[in-house]
């Protein structure tokens, strides 16, 4: 009988969980990676699925395929229900029990509605592939219903799109929706002119892209306006319902509202019975372990840790990756008998956001780029970071096609009922 | 005030409806095309979406994009509720009324369960993109659940796949599932060996591909067996439930059953109050019009018409295309004042089916091909028939990738709850 190897369980196959698994390559451990999805998702391009530029399979890969050559890694499709920190076991919804010696929780965050969960039905957020296809369906169905209706008020509300929150996701979504209407859908309708669509980007702060340099925020705002986006700053939304939004005492009738304003950590705190901040994030030790449970690490969007200079670590993919690598290094050091403190030092490599198909802003700190050159750097960087060669070709082809023809190849309305529009009297006569 | 042009309404944007619209190009008519989907679907490759080889957007195109340059064509996303043949109006679910002078019904068929509609929940068929992603999810989840379970009976049932019906769809599905298990999933699991999956193809007739030449049927059966498919002929299924199927007094425990055994026309007969055969198809006149309603045509899978030699017209895409073109020609002739009878003459160009990634059978009548050459002809023909250059590139790239690496790029489990597997005691120890 052989000695049981040190068992590392990783929950979550996103940027953080996968980078922890990568960093543990060659270590004398057995790894179990649990995710409730079978795929790793390249979230930075999710907004392009939501706006019909890319298809779902272009930005997602089966986690087991990524880890197929790592014989010591077992991948399990399952949903965590609870963690028994005493018995050191992760319990899944189907009753499966996964024991661990070290545990890395990399479960990310969902969008949050600041105490207004009832807004979710009318203002979906964008975190999963299903979120993306839901938003895509809502966007495309709004134009379809606008084409059918003869009621001008109804039509105006159907052709008004609201994005709440002007961080990178909100900015990228608003720009892409405006391009969808102005370029991809052009010439395809007979009653409406999709170019008349109004896209509102509503933000509580006084500028877009709050985490970027002020010059870049100003540039991004200009670029959005050039695309026809109506940027409304310093506005807090007080009401969202199926017919529109209310903010600053104003009412805007809009059938399509998308939420990009806030996130809430996955329920790690509940599983652990640990202390969390208002956004549900666990306050971890400097080495990313949970206070009182040094064998448990929380990384990425599920954790909060102050950087040495006092700035919080941002909720971006690269921070999760660095966290995952760090947790793995701490585990390896401990296995080697090294118990010296290993505080996590986040290194901010840069922030990127794109506005439509010819503009982007990049803030590397030491270098700030904007405009067309930034867009090329953004595009190449994103293609480079995709998981495999097939997807790099495929995304490059999709982008080239859109660039050359303006047509988007993933304009599918799938899954879910079509919205009802107001009845028409005589459709074929309506064109006049 | 101008005179009202002749109004042609086409219901259905499949092969039949689109080819009617194409044939009407240049005619002095106004066209309205109604479909409850926003996309045209290239159904011959749907089984490849179901088996994770292609993504949804590679075989579907927005109908309005296809018709964007035809200013006289209006596309409406809507579901037909009823047809008022007296008032000559198509009524949509949302109350929209679409008046017509000529009407072409090209609404196709759904799968049918021979009076056992209750089987649908456990044995989905394959007609729409949602059907394909549902089957894909079921296939992939079965392997995931088999990997989790420790119960050998449960595991065997999870790794048993049944395809009912050995026409082209059933044959292609069975071959592709076997390849998915033997090539694409290989080396990715730690408890199960996906190559141990058993794929049963059950057929009531005494050979597969009944519409093909007998030699080709025999070759296809051999090719299926080489891929590991268990072909069971002369067997009628008497029971389907969530745990398996019963046929010929035998019981087969199988968690994944797919239905490819029969179709039922869409409810055209109900809309029209017209006579239909047992499969719901309208018996049309030789010119494809409805008896008593010469201004209404029914084409493709929704109609039944005997060919001049007494053979029925097969339910394949090319027959629908020919029917669509014919109905359009009759309408044009009538507008030109030509009322001579124009009987539809179906010309069978050929039957194609593929078995896995290196074999196919092609029956052109004057030429019969099988084996690797047939597979290349099949592949090139299908790429040629795709709608646009982007999709031709994209499908060719996906196939090349699978051919070279064996990996399938669309292995996504999306939309819908994961199935529950039997609980495990200790997952990480189970590997031994």
Task: Return the CATH superfamily for domain A6-111+263-335.
Answer: FAD/NAD(P)-binding domain (3.50.50.60)
Report percent pLDDT > 90 for chain B: 74
Whether B172 is catalytic: yes
Amino acid B429: pLDDT? 37
Chain A residue closest to B400 (CA)?
Answer: A390
> How confident is the model over A347-375, as pLDDT tens digits?
988 889 999 888 999 998 889 999 999 98
Taking contacts as CB-CB distances below 8 angstroms, the residues of chain A near B431 are 74
Residues ≥6 apart with Cβ < 8 Å to A163:
A170, A173, A174, A177, A199, A200, A201, A202, A257, A258, A260
Rounded Cα gap, residues B374 and B64, in angstroms: 34
Chain A residue closest to B411 (CA)?
Answer: A62
Residues ≥6 apart with Cβ < 8 Å to A106:
A10, A11, A12, A14, A16, A17, A20, A298, A299, A300, A302, A320, A323, A324
| Angle separating helix axes A372-385 and A389-405, nearest 10 degrees | 150
Asked whether the beta carbons of residue B428 and residue A99 sit closer than 8 angstroms, the reply is: yes
Q: CATH code for B6-36+78-111+263-335?
A: 3.50.50.60
- The phi, psi pair for A190, rounded to 5°, reads -110, -25
Nearest to A346 by CA among A378, A321, A367: A321
Sign of CA dihedral B39, B45, B47, B51: negative
Give span(s): CATH 3.50.50.100, chain B.
117-261
Taking contacts as CB-CB distances below 8 angstroms, the residues of chain B near A412 are 38-39, 56-57, 60, 62, 129
Q: How far is CA B270 from CA B82, B274, B297, B302, in A?
A: 8, 7, 15, 12
Asked whether the beta carbons of residue B95 and residue A423 sit closer than 8 angstroms, the reply is: yes
DSSP state of A417: P
Asked whether the beta carbons of residue B148 and residue A55 sit closer than 8 angstroms, the reply is: no
Chain B residue closest to A70 (CA)?
Answer: B188
Helix (H), strand (E) counts: chain B: 12, 25
Band (pLDDT 50/70/90 cuts) for residue A154 is very high
Q: Residue A155 above 90 pLDDT?
A: yes
Report percent pLDDT > 70 for chain A: 95
Q: Which residues of A are catalytic?
A: 172
Asked whether the beta carbons of residue B397 and residue A390 sit closer than 8 angstroms, the reply is: yes
**Across the strands, what pairs with B296?**
B103
Q: Residue B1 above 80 pLDDT?
A: no
Chain A residue closest to B407 (CA)?
Answer: A65
- The phi, psi pair for B362, rounded to 5°, reads -130, 130
The third-level CATH classification (topology) of the domain covering B117-261 is: FAD/NAD(P)-binding domain (3.50.50)
Give span(s): CATH 3.50.50.60, chain A.
6-111+263-335, 120-261
Amino acid B427: pLDDT? 40
> How confident is the model over A302-320, as pLDDT tens digits?
999 876 677 788 888 999 9
pTM: predicted TM-score of the whole model, two decimal places: 0.91
Q: In this predicted complex, what is the ipTM?
A: 0.89
**How confident is the model over B112-119, as a mean pLDDT?**
90
**Across the strands, what pairs with A110?**
A264
Give span(s): CATH 3.50.50.60, chain B.
6-36+78-111+263-335
B96: closest CA of chain A, how far (Å): 5
**Catalytic hit among B172, B203, B221, B235:** B172
Residue A5 · residue A27 · CB < 8 Å: no
Chain B residue closest to A98 (CA)?
Answer: B427
Amino acid A114: pLDDT? 85
**Exposure of A297 by Cβ count < 10 A (0-12 exposed, 13-18 middle, 19+ buried)?**
buried
Q: Hey, what CATH class is A120-261 in?
A: alpha beta
Asked whether the beta carbons of residue B394 and residue A394 sit closer than 8 angstroms, the reply is: yes
Amino acid B395: pLDDT? 84
Pure H helices in A159-313: 168-179, 214-226, 268-272
Rounded Cα gap, residues B83 and B81, in angstroms: 7
Asked whether the beta carbons of residue B428 and residue A9 sit closer than 8 angstroms, the reply is: yes
Other CB atoms within 10 A of residue A28 CB: 11
- The phi, psi pair for A393, rounded to 5°, reads -60, -45
Range scoring the smallest mean pLDDT among A17-26, A108-117, A203-212, B243-252? A108-117
**How confident is the model over B221-235, as a mean pLDDT?**
97
Q: How far is CA A171 from CA A58, A114, A361, in A?
A: 22, 20, 11
Sign of CA dihedral B59, B63, B65, B67: positive
Residue A178 · residue A199 · CB < 8 Å: yes
Range scoring the smallest mean pLDDT among A392-406, B248-262, B270-284? A392-406
Q: Residue B419 above 50 pLDDT?
A: no
**Exposure of B81 by Cβ count < 10 A (0-12 exposed, 13-18 middle, 19+ buried)?**
middle
Residue B173 · residue B126 · CB < 8 Å: yes
B317: closest CA of chain A, how far (Å): 21
Residue A127 · residue A133 · CB < 8 Å: no
Q: Count A/B contacts: CB-CB distance under 8 Å.
A: 209
Task: Return the SS3 of A115.
Answer: coil
Amino acid B398: pLDDT? 84
Asked whether the beta carbons of residue A412 and residue B38 sit closer than 8 angstroms, the reply is: yes
Taking contacts as CB-CB distances below 8 angstroms, the residues of chain A near B95 are 422-424
Amino acid A2: pLDDT? 61
Taking contacts as CB-CB distances below 8 angstroms, the residues of chain A near B411 are 38-39, 57, 62, 65
Amino acid B417: pLDDT? 41
Q: Residue B20 above 50 pLDDT?
A: yes
> How confident is the model over B322-359, as pLDDT tens digits?
999 999 999 999 999 998 999 999 998 888 999 988 89
Nearest to A390 among B141, B409, B427 (CB): B409
> How confident is the model over A78-114, as pLDDT tens digits?
999 999 999 999 999 999 999 999 999 999 999 889 8
């Amino acid at each position: 009988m052989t000695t049981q190897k040190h068992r590392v369980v990783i929950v979550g196959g996103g940027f953080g969980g996968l980078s922890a698994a990568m960093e543990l390559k060659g270590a004398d451990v057995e790894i179990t990676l649990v995710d409730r999805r079978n795929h790793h998702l390249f979230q930075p391009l999710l907004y392009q699925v939501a706006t019909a530029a890319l298809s779902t399979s272009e930005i997602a890969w089966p986690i087991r395929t990524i880890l197929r050559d790592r014989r010591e890694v077992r991948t399990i499709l399952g949903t965590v229900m609870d963690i028994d920190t005493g018995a050191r076991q992760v319990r899944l919804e189907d009753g499966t029990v996964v024991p661990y010696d070290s545990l890395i929780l990399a479960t990310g965050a969902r969008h949050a509605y600041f105490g207004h969960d009832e807004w979710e039905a009318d203002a979906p957020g964008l975190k999963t592939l299903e979120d993306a296809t839901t938003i895509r369906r809502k966007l495309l169905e709004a134009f379809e219903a606008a084409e059918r209706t003869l009621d001008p008020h109804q039509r105006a509300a159907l052709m008004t799109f609201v994005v709440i929150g002007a961080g990178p996701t909100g900015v990228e979504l608003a720009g892409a929706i405006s391009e969808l209407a102005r370029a991809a859908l052009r010439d395809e309708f007979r009653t409406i002119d999709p170019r008349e669509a109004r896209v509102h980007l509503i933000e509580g702060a006084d500028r877009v892209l709050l985490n970027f340099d002020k010059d870049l925020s100003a540039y991004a705002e200009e670029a959005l306006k050039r695309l026809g986006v109506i940027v409304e700053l310093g506005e807090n939304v007080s009401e969202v319902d199926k017919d529109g939004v209310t903010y600053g005492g104003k009412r805007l009738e809009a059938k399509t509202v998308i939420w990009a304003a806030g996130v809430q950590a996955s329920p790690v705190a509940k599983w652990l019975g640990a202390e969390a901040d208002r956004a549900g994030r666990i306050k971890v030790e400097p080495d990313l372990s949970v206070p009182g449970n040094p064998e448990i690490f929380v990384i990425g969007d599920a954790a909060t840790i102050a950087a040495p200079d006092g700035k919080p670590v941002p909720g971006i993919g690269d921070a999760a990756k660095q966290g995952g690598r760090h947790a793995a290094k701490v585990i390896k050091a401990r296995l080697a008998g090294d118990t010296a403190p290993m505080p996590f030092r986040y290194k901010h490599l840069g922030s990127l956001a794109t506005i439509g198909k010819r503009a982007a802003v990049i803030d590397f700190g030491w270098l700030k780029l904007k405009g067309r050159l930034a867009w090329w750097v953004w595009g190449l960087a994103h293609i480079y970071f995709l998981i495999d060669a097939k997807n790099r070709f495929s995304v490059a082809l999709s982008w080239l096609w859109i660039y050359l023809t303006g047509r988007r190849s993933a304009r599918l309305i799938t899954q879910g009922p079509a919205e009802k529009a107001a009845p028409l009297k005589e459709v074929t006569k309506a064109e006049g």
